[in-house]
Structure 1
């Protein structure tokens, strides 16, 4: 049965702003408090979706969240009408208002971990929403994320949904940003690769000293159990603590994989040789031929990787068996990174082409091409069971662009977040979006 890896890209929300909320994310911290352009951000994301669709890839859309999160502010003691809640937060606790307005849900690589039916014990596609409990502004996301995913993948014959793990430090889970799947074919059993930053219960594991390790081994193991994965189809690997301390807050900032190929920095993991060997052995047992491209530190430093987001790229399979790498414009702007990529593609490696996209609005907030998409491997029956309203078509692309033009501002600064009209604008936009994407009632304001 033919299977596809479908990229579901996150739509950038109407409150896209540079709040500098993500400690450990160099771009987020560096651009804090700059003015943002939500309209441009949404259109840059849509342009990437359209381009991939036109290349022949099945492309989907994942809706943003309601912001400001007034319910979250109420849970922290703010009272009155919605406008009064926003005004009180702006007056007494502006950082909480900024957090409640975060549009970080656009980085849907953090939305959930997904295991395809070929890997799971019950033969269904499994989703576990990420609790994202390392950051308050992201911990707000998973209830709505679960409703959105359930509306997109509603057929219980094909899809299984799990609630987020307990929202405690020991089970910090950042979703697919720390998860990769290797396989010979998307419809065949593969090997799921879980990368963690620390162990919550075993102090023998080294830990970063400067920035937090957001993903725990225990969270990754729990997701693998929930999804019914076999030991033969799972590899757990620890991220190198020293690269976390250099701003590599997720594995997808230092490595990307697809099919039978892992593209990674030399310093990405602890015990790299052991990790590569285990991946190769387990994939070979499932009929695959694992390959790894290790980028040497003397050609591309970790700092170069973080600032260019070389590895926060999309690695896509082509019909001829080669790979296409989708990178942000920042890779072309970094001479060392661009020289490396130019040599790589001219050397007849597995990666035969690099395509560059302008994602500046997302990049300045700390997310590149890989952050913007959630990968879901689906066979034909499963793809047919997906809510058709979320699959990108030329007509949907045009309609979403008109929708953005109608509802999004072209400039947003911190003081704008205190404007109660922004909440009304966001709700009006999302109410229309649920009709466009045929999602039904998924937002708190629609569920009252």
Structure 2
């Protein structure tokens, strides 16, 4: 069976427990090891790993990236995960499970910088890199063996070593003949893993797995499938396309094909971005527009920066609110003309907020841009809004000054109001490693 040492990259022909060349036990083995071209690369506990990289004294300690008594966990290191902490878990529950955790406020600029480093190393391997999020991507290394002088598995093992040495974080890799199986494979061996699923074994390997192992099959759809007698992938595999169409509608044949491990999606480096957003969770419930508007303004500034980074403008605005009982409200409206200026985004979002601020207590607010349009056509102005170009010029000038002299160098008048004590935040900021009080 083909083997690869992930530490010295030797390819032993026998099947030792340890590499004869370096003594490492990190040996990858699989019948199709050197023939699988699609890789799903996932940075291990990315935000927490970046924080531990920059603060070596935290090595071996449980670290949670998040914050606020009512916030959620953005990331948890593997030490914290062994205590039951998971991403998206409410912070108060995470701290009940792991009371000695070091809690660190997210620093997204730092995470983006590390992500770009990892992405640059990926693009040295193949031009076919499709980012899935800030910390994961899919790569197609088909036809690159002659270029690199090694099969994809060996190339990826070297890549993982470079990420560790140059970026200071670790990655796990799933190798397979298609994107679906690569995604499932990467979840099977974390952290620092390299797992393979071959075409020949896919159906039998997936058969006993629950339907929720398929990306996109959430609890509600899984419950519906279970009610119809399909709780495992093996139960779906036996359906033909016609029966799948009858039982599950237009998506039925695709669902059954995925249950067998079949996936024809290409790796697309030009995957379309459909929306860009920013949101925040309040430290206490807020019910009035006056309380939420300063927070909405800050989110509009953040959204404008994210649009600029991606080269987009907003063709419409989406307001997201979540009530104290976790019910979500989403309201959207098209803009008369595309914009990437926070003043314009805020004016529209504020009108949506005014309609929703009916006394209901809210725990979260978010602002999004959808549909997205090219930035070049935005904020040109017309007879109905001749001031649009001036607003865009003011915003560009402010951002230029902030880039040179710091975030507080220049503020819009509304920004001064937004810098008043935030009713969604504690009056006195806590040290970043101090644990918030547990909810009673």
Specify if TM > 0.5.
Answer: no
Return the TM-score normalized by structure 2. 0.27
TM-score of the superposed pair, with normalisation by structure 1 = 0.27
- Greater RCO between the two (CA within 8 Å, min separation 6)? 1
